[in-house]
């Protein structure tokens, strides 16, 4: 649908102006959000060829690549197995209490990775290094596979599985040959998200003393003051991220036609029989490890109380600062997402799709890359803003723009198709249609989008450490200062508050991914 039927008669100038404005704004926003890449490149070019060759030839790069690749492989594998297994149990079997399991299985997302690292490290010294990183990151990230797979299973037509049974394939053969292939796009997407998170994570790995690209870049920049090396490493990191996106696009291309269930009918769940207890035990172990340990650690340190020799900071100040920045970022990100989403929603033209996918690419950019690119931009072109509040807000906006875009698109999807055309046919001008019809319809969705961005940004650590104005502490950075000083007790309230703030967006995400309808409980 790249060509639209021309209206008869001479086009009014107003119509043309209104039609031309939206693509312009949408493209500008998409460009602005995708631009960080350019600044990393510019900064890396400063290094010069010799330095670049020397740096990239160092064994450090090989170590980092090895660490990152082996970690990504192990965690992607573990999260895929756990995520699919849990989703299958919850969506396709007669496991008792499936609704509660769904929530409990998604909730570990509410514990930021660096808080999870803290909860293990503060309790036992043995969780560290490679296996510690695998454990902590698997616990943190398996919901990213679980949720999309569960959503696919819930929406997909169960008829294919029934047909497989009628063709003589038992429950296990059907699981392997029909259900698993059905979820392949969701599995690939989930594994991609997991790998991208792994590439960008700094806090947890720093705490677990495991070196990856993110920690190396951070120490080059913050401790070594070597901006050029940091930029070069960031480029490698970004290349890895884009490579992953490409791989996922290839894996997701085949069999993407999982059909939606047409009738409301769902197949009878697979009876677990004597496997009910082992299945419950397995899910129980998973939830206990992923959710129980952090909750226990936080409780333990909250009760033990402050154990610091560092000066006590005011938690209220940190909380207010955090909320202020997060709210500002949410406002800007949501407002910026509206034109892009609106443009893509109204017409599926190639330009609209390109603008949208350019915006989504930033999702692949590790937080540390975004933060550094903004630092470089400020140093070069916007000196007055360097280490000023707008820089941190800009960082959050770029980081969470894809999140806002997804939420705004979800809100737009609720608008019945054709209402804008109907309003136009009733003689309303385009701007008035937007103000009187479209925006009122999506307003609740915009609120949800903003809340989601605000709450997610409240627990951001990596970019905040790099971008915050001197002397400003958010909950995450204050927590970071305490844990770096081994003041686990003093850090606990900050961590607890961040976890509490993350619960609503996680519940919202779960609800939005799986849809409002919950699986019927077997009676």
357 contact partners, CB below 8 Å, separation of at least 6: none
**Beta carbons of 115 and 458 less than 8 angstroms apart:** no
Nearest-angstrom CA–CA distance, 274 and 263: 31
**Beta carbons of 512 and 413 less than 8 angstroms apart:** no
Nearest-angstrom CA–CA distance, 25 and 48: 36
275 contact partners, CB below 8 Å, separation of at least 6: none
Least Cα distance to 234 among 69, 56, 113, 72 occurs for 56
Q: Min. distance of Cβ 276 from another protein in angstroms?
A: 18
Nearest-angstrom CA–CA distance, 139 and 82: 10
User: Which is nearer to another protein, 162 or 226 (by Cβ)?
Assistant: 162
User: Which is nearer to another protein, 155 or 169 (by Cβ)?
Assistant: 169
User: Which is nearer to another protein, 160 or 247 (by Cβ)?
Assistant: 160
Q: Min. distance of Cβ 154 from another protein in angstroms?
A: 16
User: Which is nearer to another protein, 161 or 356 (by Cβ)?
Assistant: 161
Tokens for 102, please give them: 């769904």
**Contact set with another protein (CB under 8 A):** 157, 159-160, 162-170, 174, 177-178, 181-182, 184, 254-259, 262-263, 265, 267-268, 523
User: Which is nearer to another protein, 187 or 370 (by Cβ)?
Assistant: 187
User: Which is nearer to another protein, 255 or 504 (by Cβ)?
Assistant: 255
Q: Min. distance of Cβ 521 from another protein in angstroms?
A: 10
Tokens for 122, please give them: 């503060």
Q: How many CB atoms lie within 10 A of CB 310?
A: 14
User: Which is nearer to another protein, 166 or 425 (by Cβ)?
Assistant: 166
Q: Min. distance of Cβ 268 from another protein in angstroms?
A: 6
Q: Min. distance of Cβ 510 from another protein in angstroms?
A: 26
Tokens for 106, please give them: 């998604």
Q: Min. distance of Cβ 277 from another protein in angstroms?
A: 22
DSSP 340-373: HHHHHHH---HHHHHHHHHHHHGGGS-HHHHHHH
Q: Min. distance of Cβ 192 from another protein in angstroms?
A: 19
Q: Min. distance of Cβ 160 from another protein in angstroms?
A: 5
Q: Min. distance of Cβ 78 from another protein in angstroms?
A: 24
Classify 260 as helix, strand or coil: strand
User: Which is nearer to another protein, 265 or 304 (by Cβ)?
Assistant: 265
User: Which is nearer to another protein, 269 or 395 (by Cβ)?
Assistant: 269
**Beta carbons of 494 and 483 less than 8 angstroms apart:** no
Q: Min. distance of Cβ 161 from another protein in angstroms?
A: 9
**Beta carbons of 333 and 396 less than 8 angstroms apart:** yes
Nearest-angstrom CA–CA distance, 378 and 503: 34
Q: How many CB atoms lie within 10 A of CB 331?
A: 16
User: Which is nearer to another protein, 263 or 426 (by Cβ)?
Assistant: 263
Least Cα distance to 320 among 113, 472, 503, 504 occurs for 472
Tokens for 418, please give them: 């054709």
Distances (CA, A) of 42 to 45, 201, 376, 504: 5, 24, 9, 39
Nearest-angstrom CA–CA distance, 133 and 210: 7
């Amino acid at each position: 649908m790249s060509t639209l039927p021309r209206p008869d008669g001479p086009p009014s100038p107003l119509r043309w102006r209104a039609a031309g404005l939206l693509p312009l704004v949408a493209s500008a926003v998409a460009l602005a959000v995708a631009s960080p890449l350019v600044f990393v490149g510019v900064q890396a070019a400063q290094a010069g060829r010799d330095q670049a060759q020397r740096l990239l030839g160092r064994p450090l790069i090989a170590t980092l690549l090895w660490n990152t690749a082996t970690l990504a492989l192990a965690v992607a594998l573990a999260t895929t197995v756990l995520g699919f297994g849990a989703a299958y149990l919850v969506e396709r079997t007669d496991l008792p209490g499936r609704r509660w399991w769904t929530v409990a299985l998604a909730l570990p997302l509410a514990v930021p990775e660096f808080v999870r690292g803290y909860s293990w490290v503060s309790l036992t010294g043995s969780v560290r290094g490679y296996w510690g990183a695998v454990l902590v990151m698997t616990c943190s990230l398996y919901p990213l596979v679980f949720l999309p797979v569960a959503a696919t299973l819930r929406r997909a037509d169960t008829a294919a599985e029934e047909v497989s049974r009628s063709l003589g394939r038992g429950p296990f053969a059907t699981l392997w040959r029909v259900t698993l292939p059905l979820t392949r796009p969701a599995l690939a997407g989930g594994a991609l998200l997991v790998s991208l998170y792994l590439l960008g994570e700094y806090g947890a790995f720093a705490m677990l003393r495991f070196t990856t690209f993110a920690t190396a870049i951070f120490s080059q920049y913050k401790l070594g003051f070597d901006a050029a090396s940091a930029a070069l490493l960031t480029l490698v990191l970004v290349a890895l991220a884009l490579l992953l996106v490409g791989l996922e696009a290839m894996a997701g291309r085949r069999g993407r036609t999982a059909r939606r269930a047409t009738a409301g009918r769902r197949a009878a769940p697979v009876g677990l029989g004597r496997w009910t207890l082992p299945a419950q035990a397995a899910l129980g172990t998973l939830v206990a490890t992923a959710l129980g340990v952090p909750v226990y650690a936080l409780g333990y340190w909250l009760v033990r109380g402050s154990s610091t020799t560092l000066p006590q900071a005011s938690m209220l100040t940190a909380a207010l600062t955090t909320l202020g920045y997060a709210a500002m970022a949410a406002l800007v990100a949501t407002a910026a997402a509206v034109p892009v989403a609106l443009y893509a929603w109204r017409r599926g033209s190639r330009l609209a799709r390109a603008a949208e996918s350019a915006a989504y690419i930033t999702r692949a950019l590790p937080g540390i890359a975004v933060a550094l690119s903004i630092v470089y931009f400020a140093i070069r072109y916007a000196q007055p803003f360097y280490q000023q509040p707008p820089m941190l807000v800009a960082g959050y906006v770029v980081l969470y723009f894809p999140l806002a875009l997804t939420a705004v698109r979800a809100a737009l999807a609720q608008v019945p198709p054709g209402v804008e055309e109907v309003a136009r046919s009733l003689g309303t001008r385009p701007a008035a249609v937007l103000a009187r019809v479209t925006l009122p319809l999506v307003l609740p969705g915009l609120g949800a989008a903003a809340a989601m961005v605000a709450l997610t940004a409240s627990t951001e650590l990596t970019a905040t450490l790099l971008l915050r104005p001197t002397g400003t502490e958010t909950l995450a950075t204050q927590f970071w200062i305490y844990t770096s000083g081994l003041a686990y007790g003093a850090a606990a309230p900050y961590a607890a508050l961040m976890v509490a703030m993350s619960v609503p967006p996680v519940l919202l995400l779960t609800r939005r991914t799986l849809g409002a309808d919950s699986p019927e409980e077997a009676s």
